[in-house]
């Protein structure tokens, strides 16, 4: 031992620079334990990190599913989610928040889903921990099996440590990310007694398992930075799909595929064009009509002073219009009728225009009517 350390210029610095793992090994050497014990200790310590990471890797998608199925806003289709988004706007009614949603629905959806994820995690939902614990059990069984198989492979003969490690990694069959690079430094070591080695590593693994089990017991929060892909990202992918906005009214595409080449974008409900500040030609009057009724009208779309096209030919207006399918439909959600009335002054001020065409029956809709319709 001494000779090894004398070769290094600055042994103190050397020791400090090394991880405590190595220091641990050194202590065990000095206490006279065998190389096999050091190896078992080192392997188990590395395994702990690898198993923990694998629990997070394997649980992430299942946790996303669990959050989804336990959440009223997320457990249905995209239009149900949209209704919950509108309900969330009503809950903390504020014109600026509504504007943010209209301008950038994708960001609003993301933030909404992140909030739902947060609520589920902070409720310490025991189902989430059960998912992790189940994964931990499975991984532990695979690791124990790999230990037993790799030990059996060599029988009770004197075995090179590296040969066993390689065999062990092979038997793990990619169940966890673990390779010989995790346990360098045993190149010259032998395992004298395979049975003893196997027993020590099994014992150590068992205490490691109990420590990990405690981590996933629900007594402490999950270490969410260890998720390679965060559950809310998975949820966003599952629930939101295409986030393209109608070029007139900003309604989001209903398609659940993030991209759907060759398939037109399509919104379930269009909205009064007021909310995007569109005005009748050469007036300050804001348009309360919705895109899907305008395409069935005789109105014309003014592209420039000398380029006016029938509204139904809206696809000619440019590439972002060409990929939208807007078919005649008069249906308009009560939410937007109420929204235009409630925020009349804000909309007029924002767009420097006048709202003179609000249909009378819109004005009779109450917030309660809107909520009722969205909860249907």
In the complex, which residues of this chain contact Zn ion (CB under 5 A)?
Answer: 69, 242, 244, 246, 248-249, 251, 253, 255, 265, 270, 291
Q: Which of 8, 56, 5 is nearest to 229 (CA)?
A: 56
Least Å distance, CB 358 to Zn ion, is 18
Contact 228, 57 (CB under 8 A): yes
* Closer residue to Zn ion, CB minimum distance, 130 or 160: 130
Orientation of helix 20-30 relative to helix 35-69, angle to 10° = 140
* Closer residue to Zn ion, CB minimum distance, 249 or 374: 249
Least Å distance, CB 70 to Zn ion, is 5
Q: State both tokens at 121.
A: 């995690």
CA pair distance 288, 337, nearest whole angstrom? 9
Least Å distance, CB 271 to Zn ion, is 6
Beta strand segments in 100-201, E: 159-160, 190-191
Helix (H, G, I), strand (E, B), or coil: what is residue 159?
Answer: strand
Contact 55, 139 (CB under 8 A): yes
List the alpha helices (DSSP H) in 123-158. Answer: 126-154
* Closer residue to Zn ion, CB minimum distance, 222 or 242: 242
Least Å distance, CB 314 to Zn ion, is 10
CA pair distance 236, 240, nearest whole angstrom? 5
* Closer residue to Zn ion, CB minimum distance, 38 or 291: 291
Contact 76, 375 (CB under 8 A): no
Q: Which of 345, 343, 132, 327 is nearest to 218 (CA)?
A: 132
* Closer residue to Zn ion, CB minimum distance, 35 or 287: 287
* Closer residue to Zn ion, CB minimum distance, 51 or 249: 249
Give residue for tokens 């599952």: 238
Least Å distance, CB 234 to Zn ion, is 15
* Closer residue to Zn ion, CB minimum distance, 69 or 93: 69
Least Å distance, CB 37 to Zn ion, is 45
Least Å distance, CB 121 to Zn ion, is 15
CA pair distance 270, 328, nearest whole angstrom? 10
């Amino acid at each position: 031992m001494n000779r090894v350390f004398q070769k290094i210029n600055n042994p103190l610095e050397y020791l400090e620079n090394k991880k405590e793992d190595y220091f641990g090994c050194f202590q065990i050497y000095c206490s006279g334990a065998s190389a096999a014990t050091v190896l078992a200790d080192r392997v188990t310590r590395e395994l702990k990190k690898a198993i923990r990471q694998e629990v997070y890797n394997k649980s992430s998608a299942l946790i996303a599913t669990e959050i989804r199925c336990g959440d009223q806003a997320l457990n249905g289709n995209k239009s149900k989610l949209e209704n919950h988004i509108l309900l969330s706007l009503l809950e903390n009614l504020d014109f600026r928040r509504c504007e943010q949603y209209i301008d950038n629905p994708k960001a609003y959806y993301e933030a909404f889903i992140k909030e739902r994820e947060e609520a589920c995690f902070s409720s310490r939902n025991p189902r989430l921990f059960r998912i992790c614990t189940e994964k931990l059990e499975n991984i532990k069984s695979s690791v124990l099996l790999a230990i037993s198989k790799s030990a059996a492979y060599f029988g009770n003969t004197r075995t090179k440590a590296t040969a066993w490690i390689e065999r062990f990694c092979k038997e793990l069959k990619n169940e966890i990310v673990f390779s010989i690079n995790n346990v360098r430094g045993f190149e010259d070591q032998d395992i004298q007694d395979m049975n003893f080695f196997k027993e020590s590593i099994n014992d150590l693994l068992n205490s490691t398992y109990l420590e990990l089990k405690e981590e996933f017991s629900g007594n402490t929060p999950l270490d969410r930075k260890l998720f390679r892909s965060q559950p809310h990202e998975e949820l966003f992918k599952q629930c939101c799909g295409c986030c393209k906005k109608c070029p007139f009214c900003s309604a989001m595409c209903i398609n659940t595929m993030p991209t759907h080449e060759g398939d037109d974008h399509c919104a379930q409900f269009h909205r009064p064009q007021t909310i995007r500040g569109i005005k009748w030609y050469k007036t300050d009057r804001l348009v309360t009509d919705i895109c899907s009724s305008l395409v069935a009208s005789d109105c014309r779309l003014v592209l420039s002073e000398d380029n006016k096209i029938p509204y139904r030919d809206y696809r000619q207006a440019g590439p972002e219009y060409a990929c939208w399918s807007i078919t005649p439909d008069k249906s308009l959600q009560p939410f937007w009728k109420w929204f235009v009335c409630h925020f009349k002054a804000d909309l007029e001020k924002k767009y420097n225009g006048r709202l003179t065409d609000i249909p009378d029956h819109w004005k009779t809709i109450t917030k309660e009517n809107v909520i009722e319709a969205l909860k249907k």
